Amino acid sequence: GQNIDQPTEMTATEGAIVQINCTYQTSGFNGLFWYQQHAGEAPTFLSYNVLDGLEEKGRFSSFLSRSKGYSYLLLKELQMKDSASYLCAVRGGSYIPTFGRGTSLIVHP
Amino acid sequence: GAGVSQSPSNKVTEKGKDVELRCDPISGHTALYWYRQSLGQGLEFLIYFQGNSAPDKSGLPSDRFSAERTGGSVSTLTIQRTQQEDSAVYLCASSLAGEAYEQYFGPGTRLTVT
């Protein structure tokens, strides 16, 4: 089976930096994805990691350590519009991504 | 270009009725997934289609749920004899084949069983 853990909720201040962690236990590994989901909307793709290390994309970066079963999403220069749920998804031995429950991020002024 | 579309956007049905949910994936995407999301919960995998291969139905919660994909494009998820616990948002996603490709999600169908 697969198990993916993320914090349920985080709060941060506009302009700050926030790190959202994800730990996973899977049978096999074929990549880890982060998605953003605003309330009432569909998830949208943010990042993909398959090798260890940091992937940077503008204000968002994602890190992966396969040996530790650990990833984080780093959001810099937070904006109010970043308030959303952030979903960690892992492709294990199959091609079917398994999603965590998501981390609800609240950005306040 | 057009994204993934789903219909209807909202469906209210009485307990015991059958419902059909439709998904139109992005043209050229051979992989198609159905998930459902209940309030405050993560995305629960239901079924996966890849090209002409037999679908992976391992996530279907009961035999009341079935899905088909005609001509490698449009997919229909059918729930028979709906129950109140079937109430959720049903999301469809499509992607190119291969593990590196991200999923593109449709807007979902909100199903309410009364």
CA distance B13 to A7: 34
pLDDT of A92? 87
| CB-CB neighbors (< 8 A) of A95 in chain B | 31, 48, 50, 99
Distance CA A24, CA A32 (A): 10
State the pLDDT at residue B13. 98
- Subunit contact A45:B104, Cβ cutoff 8 A: yes
Cβ separation B105–A44 shorter than 8 A: yes
β-strand pairing of B10-13 with B109-113: parallel
pLDDT of B1 strictly over 70: no
Give the pLDDT score at B42.
86
Element counts in chain A: helices (H) and strands (E): 0, 11
Q: Which chain B residues contact residue A91 at CB under 8 A?
A: 99
CB A9 within 8 A of CB A24: no
* Look-up of token digits 């999603």: A99
Give yes or no for residue B68 having a pLDDT over 90.
yes
Question: Comparing A83 with B100, which gets the higher pLDDT?
Answer: A83
- For each of chain A's 109 residues, which pLDDT tens digit applies? 679 999 999 999 999 999 999 999 988 899 999 999 999 899 999 999 999 999 999 999 999 999 999 999 999 999 999 999 999 999 988 778 999 999 999 999 9
| C-alpha dihedral sign at A78, A81, A82, A83 | positive
Q: Which of B41, B102, B106 sits opposite A48 (nearest CB)?
A: B102
Q: How many residues does chain B have?
A: 114
- Convert the pLDDT of each residue in B76-98 to its tens digit: 999 999 999 999 999 999 999 87
- Average predicted confidence (pLDDT) for chain A: 94
Rounded Cα–Cα distance for residues A65 and A54 (Å): 9
pLDDT tens digits, one per residue of B14-52: 999 999 999 999 999 999 999 999 987 889 999 999 988
- A29 and A90 Cβ atoms separated by less than 8 Å: yes
Of B7-11, B100-104, B108-112, the one with minimum mean pLDDT is B100-104
Percent of residues, chain B, with pLDDT higher than 90: 82
Query: Which residue, among A34, A45, A103, would best test binding to B if mutated, counting the most B CBs under 10 Å from its CB?
Result: A45
Chain B hits for A98, Cβ within 8 Å? 45
- Other C-beta atoms closer than 10 Å to the C-beta of B49 total 23
Q: Which of A76, A79, A77 is nearest to A108 (CA)?
A: A79
pLDDT digit string (tens) for A67-89?
Answer: 999 999 999 999 999 999 999 99
Residue A72 DSSP code: E
Write the CB contacts of A84 (distance below 8 Å, at least 6 apart in sequence): A36, A37, A38, A39, A104, A105
- The separation between the first and the last C-alpha atoms of chain A, rounded to the nearest angstrom, is 41
Amino acid, res. A63? F
Cβ contacts (< 8 Å) between B42 and chain A: which residues? 4, 87, 99-102
CB atoms within 10 A of CB A50: 15
Determine the pLDDT at residue B41: 80
